[in-house]
Amino acid sequence: MHPDKKWLKYAREVLQAPPDLLKCCDGGNPSNSSDPAHAARIRRWPGYIGKRYAIGRVLLVGAIHNPAKLFQAIGNDLEQEIRNWVEEPSAGSDGRYLDAVRRSYTAAYEEWAKKTVWKNFKCLLRYCKLGFDEVAFTNLAKCYLEPQRPQGKRVDYAEFVRRCNSHYPINDLCEAIKPALVLIASEAKKITEMTPIKVCTESSLPLVYRFVNAGPKHGQRNGEPIKQWGPIAAQHYRNALGR
């Protein structure tokens, strides 16, 4: 089965369960504490699959959405396309949904890549000699942390990832679209333990690299800067594919 079909199945699972598009791990936006601009937003975001993604390519994985950046780039058009797709499944709507996701994320990519997490992703793709249209992207948590929620009423970040990943395990997506390299922008031990990825004993794939996502050490892996471990990871990836 083409990876697009696997992706569509996964994306539909993320968007349809629980059925309310406005809810996920923290139960949605409580009316008394949220930013009204976010109250009607779609809560769960499956991510992106490039037009030239194929089995054996790369899956980029963030930890959790930053809603400000997500919506600044995504805009209302994609949300409408998503609602249309969820309501009316058909081959035609599948194509329109994929086109809309690709348009939005490709436009957002250059903007996001100016800062930390995506800057590191872009750097790693350069080492791998891959374009953004050859990779897929998702977050460990499909839903986003509401920015305006008062401290104390907010679910802890790691707990949020744990809950969301228990609904949509990252390993399920890896088994569906079979990347040969998975790059995860989170090195926190707690998060690593709650988001295991099975490695095939015969092929030793996928290769999985986790690195620091934010702060002064962003990009580091086991204390090494990205310019050291990144090219080695890319070489391992090419070796694994026999390139």
Contacting residues toward Zn ion, per CB under 5 A? 24-25, 143, 164
Spatial contact of 149 and 157, defined as CB atoms under 8 Å apart: no
What does the alpha-carbon distance between residue 174 and residue 180 come to, in Å, rounded to a whole number? 9
- Closer by beta carbon to Zn ion, 43 or else 57: 43
How near is the Cβ of 233 to Zn ion at its closest, in Å?
29
| Nearest-approach distance from CB 23 to Zn ion, in angstroms | 9
Burial of 239 (0-12, 13-18, 19+ CB in 10 A): exposed
Rank residues 104 and 165 by Cβ distance to Zn ion and give the closer one: 165
Shortest gap between Cβ of 183 and Zn ion (angstroms)? 21
Give dist(CA 74, CA 169) in Å, integer.
24
Minimum CB distance to Zn ion smaller for 3 or for 47: 47
Residue whose token pair is 């995860």:
184
- Tell me the β-bridge partners of 208: 182
- Whichever of 72 and 166 has its CB closer to Zn ion, that residue is 166
CB of 71 to Zn ion, least distance (A): 17
Specify burial of residue 132 (Cβ count, 10 A radius: 0-12, 13-18, 19+): buried
Partners of 138 in beta bridges: 61
d(CA 138, CA 59): 8
Q: Taking the complex as a whole, how short is the minimal distance between the CB of residue 51 and Zn ion, in angstroms?
A: 27
Strands 48-49, 135-139: pairing is antiparallel
CB closer to Zn ion, 25 vs 42: 25
Measured from the CB of residue 14, what is the shortest distance to Zn ion in angstroms? 9
Task: Give the angle subtended at the CA of 172 by the CAs of 63 and 105, to the nearest 5°.
Answer: 50
Q: Which is nearer to Zn ion, 128 or 164 (CB)?
A: 164
Alpha carbon distance 79, 85 (integer Å): 10
How many Å apart are CA 132 and CA 126, to the nearest integer?
10
CB of 224 to Zn ion, least distance (A): 32
d(CA 167, CA 235): 34
Based on CB atoms, which residue is closest to Zn ion, 24 or 124?
A: 24
